[in-house]
A and B are shown apart, each in its own frame.
Chain A
Amino acid sequence: MEINITINGSDHASDVEPRTLLVDHIRRTVGLTGTHVGCDTTSCGACTVLMDGTPVKACTVLAAQADGSEVTTVEGLKGADGLHPIQSAFTDDHGLQCGFCTPGMMLVGASLIAENPDPSDDDVRWAISGNLCRCTGYINIVKAIQTAAARVAESSNGS
């Protein structure tokens, strides 16, 4: 079936089988491999993408269900002026070890700080509770998301 998904601002029209999962469509058809497949059973959140701004597990959404929507993957976080604050904060705060969960963590983090400019430790932990880090590097992930929030708040206060 014919679908058209806007991925990171570009339209991608394709003919897909109804059973194609959104994550496979993004990785194989569109060729964006930043979105990871971890557990493939709706548990780990490595495949997280934003669908019309809302974080979802792309291994549990059919590509056909995303027809007409706007999807943001980790590749879409970077803007014209460089890395997204969440990306630079993950770099600065060592928010990743092996990096496998990182795309999902960053997208959930970006979505959280868009809604809550000053998230507490508990707010962040609650928001990322559907994303697993098997390196168990949660402390720096939480710290990085808070750093990103503080930087975003600071730059919007300054402007």
Chain B
Amino acid sequence: MFPSRFDLVVAQTVAEAVEAKVDAGEGGRFLAGGQSLIPMMKMRVAFPETLIDINRIAGLDAIERSNGHLQVGALVRHADVVASDATFGAVAAAAPWVADPLVRNRGTMCGSVAHCDPEGDWNSVLLATGADVIAQGPSGERSISIADFVDGAFTSTLGEDELVVGLRIPVPSGRSGGAYLKLERKIGDYATVAVASHLELDDSGAIAAAGLALTSVNPINTKVADAEVLLVGQQPSEELFAEAAELAAAAAEPRDDVRGTAAWKRQVVRTYTKRGLAAAAQQAEGS
């Protein structure tokens, strides 16, 4: 298989890439790792007329902490996230479970976020940790909260001519922990169910901030806001996490498919929420 014909623009700067996108109009697509886009093009599900390769742009490959945030550039590969010492909690937990080792060597975190595949892992992690997406367009840079960014299956609120240049994930200042529990049939498969959890504790050991999000059980990655509200201000306990798990199960509307029945997936959401929150709490208490 091979893609339909396209023109390739190899951009050297972000400004050049954005300009090329403006010129290309609707038929233009940005190419980073290409681990979703190239297969889609080979299957002729996607057929851009112009492909704007951003891989040669300097300065987009850093993953580092700065001003209380984990900043991830547009060319940071999943494997770089796995190897990074700057990560924490749910981000560190999820990285090794994205795709497979070879895809992780090439695919980028920002590309995956921009792709907005509802079965993708990263957007759940970003929803749980309250991250922002940094986009650059013809009129400059703007920051979009991930909750506003994810708009639907394969759809974001990114403007037509905007490029995702980075992510900004707040690093908790106090004790914190996180988890990403993913059930998959085999490595490289999409999640059957995955749950991202994030907890921050105050000095008394009570939950100061909580994040919980689900993958593959709804038409988009889903933030379980009512469970987050329930958790904040409480002392971590098995009973509390069981209650949050009920809210997560209620927020999930999985479908019967080759990966399992809806009822079973909902039960996995329940179990993984309990386990994920317990792991996050344990990590926070030991931090």
Report A's interface with B, CB cutoff 8 A.
1, 17-21, 24, 40-43, 45, 48, 54-57, 59-62, 64-65, 108, 126-127, 129-131
Contacts of B267 in A (CB 8 A): none
The answer to whether B34 and A65 touch across the interface, beta carbons within 8 angstroms, is: yes
Report A104 CB to chain B, min CB distance, Å: 8
The answer to whether B100 and A41 touch across the interface, beta carbons within 8 angstroms, is: no
The answer to whether B106 and A56 touch across the interface, beta carbons within 8 angstroms, is: yes
Report B's interface with A, CB cutoff 8 A.
1-8, 10, 31, 34-35, 38-39, 41-43, 51, 53, 55, 79, 99-103, 105-106, 187-188
The answer to whether B10 and A64 touch across the interface, beta carbons within 8 angstroms, is: yes
| A130-B103 contact, Cβ under 8 Å, with A18-B8, A19-B3, A24-B2 | yes
The answer to whether B6 and A18 touch across the interface, beta carbons within 8 angstroms, is: yes
The answer to whether A127 and B101 touch across the interface, beta carbons within 8 angstroms, is: yes
Shortest Cβ distance from B106 into A: residue: A56
The answer to whether A65 and B53 touch across the interface, beta carbons within 8 angstroms, is: yes
Report B105 CB to chain A, min CB distance, Å: 5
| A130-B2 contact, Cβ under 8 Å, with A18-B7, A60-B38 | no
Max chain B Cβ within 10 angstroms of own Cβ: one of A45, A56, A60: A60
Report A113 CB to chain B, min CB distance, Å: 14
The answer to whether B53 and A19 touch across the interface, beta carbons within 8 angstroms, is: no
A-B contact count, CB below 8 Å?
81
| A62-B34 contact, Cβ under 8 Å, with A18-B51, A57-B106 | yes
- CA gap between A56 and B51 in the complex, in Å: 20
Residue in B10, B31, B43, B103 whose CB lies within 8 Å of A57: B103
| A57-B101 contact, Cβ under 8 Å, with A17-B5, A24-B2 | no
Contacts of B42 in A (CB 8 A): 21, 40-41, 59
| A41-B102 contact, Cβ under 8 Å, with A18-B51, A21-B2 | no
Residue in A18, A55, A61, A129 whose CB lies within 8 Å of B188: A129
Q: 5 tightest CB-CB pairs across the interface, nearest first?
A: A130-B100, A18-B8, A130-B102, A129-B187, A19-B3
Report B116 CB to chain A, min CB distance, Å: 19
Report A11 CB to chain B, min CB distance, Å: 19
The answer to whether A41 and B187 touch across the interface, beta carbons within 8 angstroms, is: no
Report B54 CB to chain A, min CB distance, Å: 11
The answer to whether B34 and A61 touch across the interface, beta carbons within 8 angstroms, is: yes
- CA gap between A106 and B6 in the complex, in Å: 34
Contacts of A40 in B (CB 8 A): 1, 42
- CA gap between A126 and B100 in the complex, in Å: 9
Shortest Cβ distance from B10 into A: residue: A64
Contacts of B2 in A (CB 8 A): 19-21, 24
Q: List 21 A-B contacts (CB under 8 A).
A: A17-B5, A18-B7, A19-B2, A21-B42, A40-B42, A41-B42, A42-B35, A48-B102, A57-B106, A59-B42, A61-B38, A61-B106, A62-B8, A62-B38, A65-B31, A65-B55, A108-B101, A129-B101, A129-B188, A130-B100, A130-B103
Contacts of B103 in A (CB 8 A): 42, 57, 60, 130
Contacts of A54 in B (CB 8 A): 79, 105
Contacts of A126 in B (CB 8 A): 101
Report B99 CB to chain A, min CB distance, Å: 8
Max chain A Cβ within 10 angstroms of own Cβ: one of B31, B39, B102: B102
